[in-house]
Structure 1
Amino acid sequence: MTGYEPLNTLKPVADDIWIIDAPAIRFFGLPFPTRATVVRLENGDLWVHSPTKLTPELTVELRALGPVRHLVAPNWIHYAFVTEWQKVFGATTWAAPGVAQRAESRGHALHIDHLLDPLRAEAPWAGQIDQLIVMGSDVHREAVFFHRASRTLILTDLIENFEPQLQPWYMRPFLRLAGILAPHGGMPRDMRATFRGHHDSLRAAVEQMIGWAPERLILAHGRWFETGAVDELRRAFAFLFC
């Protein structure tokens, strides 16, 4: 149970975009609710960001929407279920810098077809989904996406927003110290530390996200923001603009 039931099923966000709330996974021994995002491209193909656990029922739902063609591993942590989806759908896999190295270091056989590149004009979703790679940190490099038609910004771990009432009591002090407790979630403090000395590049990335003028902000962990995305970006990254 995560508080975001029903799990492992498509939930509409706007036209041609859905989320999938999944069971919590254990990370450093703590339960983390997870979320995937699905976009149907203009040609009917499905683009899946941060694939979560695949079930037979979810597979049927996805096939009813269209062919799953693109799987996105947006950072060095969010790739665990990609192989499972590859076997079922035979989709092309796109990964952020660092994903292949992380998988190899963990002994995971992960096939990656393409490295995500914000300058790759021939990407199949060009003109529909904008993208950038947040590269300031040598540790955390994350691909960020903006679905133009629905004005939805899709992040993974750059902002986390855990609701206290949905977390075990022993996890709440950790979330508060980490700066990721809802309703004012933000960049985890340990991640912020890896960007020391790289605030200029992180600030430029945040300014680009704000410049896209998103309405919604989907996160992989915790409550996502259905409205007010620009204000939430300014609040969460206020430390960059002091």
Structure 2
Amino acid sequence: MTDTGYEPLDTPKPVADEAWIVDGPAIRFYGMPFSTRATILRLANGDLWVHSPTRLSEDLAAQVAALGPVRHLVAPNWIHYAYVGDWKARFPKARTWAAPGVADRARKHGAFADYDHLLTRTPPPDWAGEIDPMIVRGSSVHREAVFFHRASRTLILTDLIENFEPAKLPWWFRLIVPLVGVADPDGKMPRDMRATFRGHHDQLRTDVETMIGWGPERVILAHGRWYDRDGTRELKRAFRFVLP
């Protein structure tokens, strides 16, 4: 699958002040085509913070370098780490950050696993006051770090919500996404992931309420259509299964 419906690919696209997305090529996961998306934030000191790096080409590297020095590379969960090593090789001064479980899985698959820092629920000095991090609790498997960029009021998720637009998918994948619960306009947490939170909805609810309390204007997702407006409303819709 070449086209994703989110072209142009491999180029930074502004979405808010000091915030860009990079739509990457589709990748195969369990045989299904997933569009990919990175998010780039520019911190107050000019440093760039890159979330879930996508495929890196020389042209993309040059475009990113023109925005500022890459200083932070973030692997937000145990699935989104594949290209961190390529970015680290191209931008060796960048520090690498990983959610719990990322380094172990990357090591098992022979991928880059030498991360500098483990992400926690406490903002590190590097971006304290600018980006609020949180490791979402409650799953027996999925430990995802989410981030709120205060300046642009942008919430950055990875897989906790997926929102595939059927018109952009192969015909056979269009049949699957509604069954999994990830079809636009009602994209939400995939059913298999949701099952891993069983028995711990209280923890998930608390963390979702924290995200809602941040009052995001937009919510960026790694897969499918992201929400460029009404971010808080979209959170309440997508997580209605856990909210009172």
Please name the residue that 1:197 is paired with. Answer: 199
Which residue number corresponds to residue 162 of structure 2? 160
2:232 is paired with a residue whose SS is: helix
Counterpart selection for 1:127 from 119, 129, 132: 129
Shift of 1:70: 0.1
Query: 1:105 Cα deviation (Å)?
Result: 2.2
Q: Of 212, 215, 227, which residue of structure 1 is paired with 2:214?
A: 212
Task: Report what 1:40 is aligned to.
Answer: 42
Find the counterpart in structure 1 of residue 225 from structure 2: 223
Partner SS state of residue 241, structure 2 = helix
Structure-1 separation of matches of 2:118 and 2:206: 22
Task: Give the gaps of 5 or more residues in structure 2.
Answer: none
In structure 2, relative to structure 1, the CA distance for the partners of 1:239 and 1:139 (3 Å cut) is same
- 2 CA distance for matches of 1:108 and 1:12? 30
Does 109-118 or 206-215 show the bigger shift? 109-118
Query: Which residue of structure 1 aligns with residue 111 of structure 2?
Result: 108
Aligned pairs for 1:58-207 (under 5 A) are 58-90=60-92, 91-120=94-123, 122-207=124-209
Q: Secondary structure at the match of 1:239?
A: coil
1:24 is matched with which residue? Answer: 26
Cα deviation 1:102-154 (Å, max 9, x = unaligned): 1122232421000001224x430110011100121121000000000100000
- Which residue does the alignment assign to 2:12? 10
Mapped contact 2:84–2:112 kept (Cα < 8 A): no
SS in 1 for 2:148: strand
> Unaligned regions of 5+ residues in structure 1, if any?
none
Distance (Å, rounded) in 1 between the aligned partners of 2:21 and 2:125: 22
**Using the alignment, how far apart are the partners of 1:212 and 1:175 within structure 2?**
29
List, as ranges, runs of 4+ consecutive aligned residues in structure 1 with deviation greater than 4 Å: none
Q: TM-score, normalised by structure 2?
A: 0.97
Task: Report the TM-score, using the length of structure 1 for normalisation.
Answer: 0.98
CA–CA distance in structure 2, aligned partners of residues 107 and 55 of structure 1: 21
One-letter identity of the residue aligned with 1:210: I
**Post-superposition offset of 1:241:** 2.2
